[in-house]
Amino acid sequence: MKAAARGLTLLFASGDSGAGCWSTSGRHQFRPSFPASSPYVTTVGGTSFKNPFRVTSEVVDYISGGGFSNVFPRPSYQEEAVAKFLSSSPQLPPSSYFNASGRAYPDVAALSDGYWVVSNRVPIPWVSGTSASTPVFGGILSLINEHRILNGRPPLGFLNPRLYQQHGAGLFDVTRGCHESCLNEEVQGQGFCSGPGWDPVTGWGTPNFPALLKTLINP
């Protein structure tokens, strides 16, 4: 809350293990990550291009972290979106695998696959992960904050209530693909799947900068 009062937006990567997995006494459950599952941060998932060798439509990056917290209850700002997902998704995992009443994440996503990174002047291809998608989304928010400040408005601060109130306006909805989870007979390595609107794989979707700027430029 203090960070939000200062106009800071806290972003965290959703993790690179899909829904995660843990096993106790032969019973499997998904394993949410932290701080990605905190209700006080904006969590960024990951996508890939449908054709990895061309700029095409985006699909789920199977490593994209997402799910439901076992510690934090679902915050009021995402109640409507998450309830809609749970009631409409045709491919929900068994209910014993996740806490449907917990804080759901991620909130948004960005491309997390196929980056080139230069280390000691050596280019390294095909670097992937939500630790790549998160600074991309952060950079876009910084540009939007710059426009807001130039127009005499404060920086965005805590973003989540606004994202959910606006139903993902300014974001490309990612509706194809599922992320990974437990490798057992019951779920066979599949966690949650994306769909129209918010989902616990890519959140509300990936940034469309002109549209997102238009959406977030005003108070």
Q: Please give the Cα distance from 35 to 51 (Å, whole number).
A: 31
What's the pLDDT at 218? 86
How large a percentage of the chain has pLDDT more than 90?
84
What's the pLDDT at 139? 97
16 is in an annotated binding site: no
129 is in an annotated binding site: no
What's the pLDDT at 26? 79
Read off the tokens for 27. 């019973």
What's the pLDDT at 84? 97
pLDDT in tens, 65-117: 999 999 999 999 999 999 999 999 988 999 999 999 999 999 999 999 999 99
197 is in an annotated binding site: yes
What's the pLDDT at 217? 93
Q: What is the DSSP string of 94-130?
A: PGGGS-TTEEEE-SEEEE-SSEEEEETTEEEEEE-SH
The dihedral through the CA atoms of 140, 173, 15, 117 has a sign that is negative
* Model confidence at 188: pLDDT above 90: no
Helix axes 130-150, 209-216, angle to 10 degrees: 50
Region 129-140 average pLDDT: 96
Lowest-pLDDT range, 44-48, 124-128, 159-163? 124-128
107 is in an annotated binding site: no
Domains of the chain: 1-217 (3.40.50.200)
What's the pLDDT at 79? 97
Read off the tokens for 194. 């994306």
Region 115-143 average pLDDT: 94
Q: What does the mean pLDDT of the chain come to?
A: 94
How large a percentage of the chain has pLDDT more than 70?
100
The answer to whether residues 149 and 219 touch, using CB atoms and an 8 Å cutoff, is no
Would you say the pTM of this structure is higher than 0.95? Answer: no
54, 80, 158, 215 from 164: Cα distances, Å: 31, 9, 12, 12
Q: For residue 216, what is the enclosing H or E element? A: helix 209-216
pLDDT in tens, 116-125: 999 999 999 9
Region 19-41 average pLDDT: 92
* Model confidence at 132: pLDDT above 90: yes
